[in-house]
Amino acid sequence: MRRALYWLIVLPLMGAAVVYLLREASPVFIDGSGLMPSFYWGRAVTPSLGEYNSHRSYFDSLFLRPYLVGALVVIVLGCGVARTLSRRVRIFSSHTFWAPAGVAIVLLLLASVVSDAGILLRVWWGPIILLRHDALRDLPLIAQTYIPLSVLCAIAISGESYIDGAPT
């Protein structure tokens, strides 16, 4: 019961933190002709400033959707799959913090590669994150995003271990 309550409290807080980190790393830009999202799947919605000001809440909800989907992917991979893998793989069992963080960062990088591959194979539309020719230029931005996300997942997983009084 304690674990369910823990996750019921932690997951919404974590979702909000992940959305914040993603929005900071990949914001919606305003250029001379209007707004342009930098984090999206599908065709990007690019309203003019007049259209945006007329229907602000509509466009804000459209711009927020990819961040919510991204947060869901981070939470499922970082708190669900990473938690399960780091507890089941014998090598990681004694490392209660760094194992989930390492597994989470690898899973998040793999998810980005899968997303990029889908875009390059024209399965869906979106920005390419890691598989670009100039991805090394964005390495600091990638590190500023993926490392905090994986540490946040590891903190959530480690916190669950201590709610019963002892690591599991």
Report if residue 7 sits inside a domain.
Answer: yes
Report the SS3 class of residue 34: strand
55 assigned to some structural domain: yes
Structure tokens that stand for 8 in this block: 């019921």
Look at residue 168 and tell me if it is in a domain. no
pLDDT band with cut points at 50, 70 and 90 for residue 165 = low
Q: Which of 30-39, 98-107, 159-168 tops mean pLDDT?
A: 98-107
**153: in domain:** yes
**Distance in angstroms (rounded) separating the CA atoms of residues 61 and 47:** 13
pLDDT at 15: 95
According to the model, what pLDDT value does residue 6 have?
Answer: 92
For residue 125, the model assigns a pLDDT of 84
Q: Would you state the structure tokens that stand for residue 95, as one six-digit string?
A: 């490392």
Q: What are 37's strand-pairing partners?
A: 28
The candidate with the shortest Cα–Cα distance to 38, out of 20, 24, 58, is 24
**pLDDT band (50, 70, 90) for residue 61:** very high
**Domains of the chain: total:** 1
Q: What is the pTM of this model?
A: 0.85
Whole-angstrom distance, CA of residue 29 vs CA of residue 44: 12
- pLDDT given at position 90: 63
Task: Reply yes or no on whether the pLDDT at 152 is more than 50.
Answer: yes
In angstroms, the CA 77 to CA 70 distance is: 11
* Domain carrying residue 147: 2-162
Q: Cβ distance 74 to 59 under 8 Å? A: no
- Average of per-residue pLDDT values in the chain: 86
Residues 164 and 25: their CA atoms lie apart, in Å, by: 35
**Regarding predicted confidence, which is higher, 125 or 65?**
65
Rounded to whole angstroms, the maximal C-alpha distance in the chain is 58
pLDDT category at 136 given cuts 50, 70, 90 is confident
Is 167 part of a structural domain of the chain? no
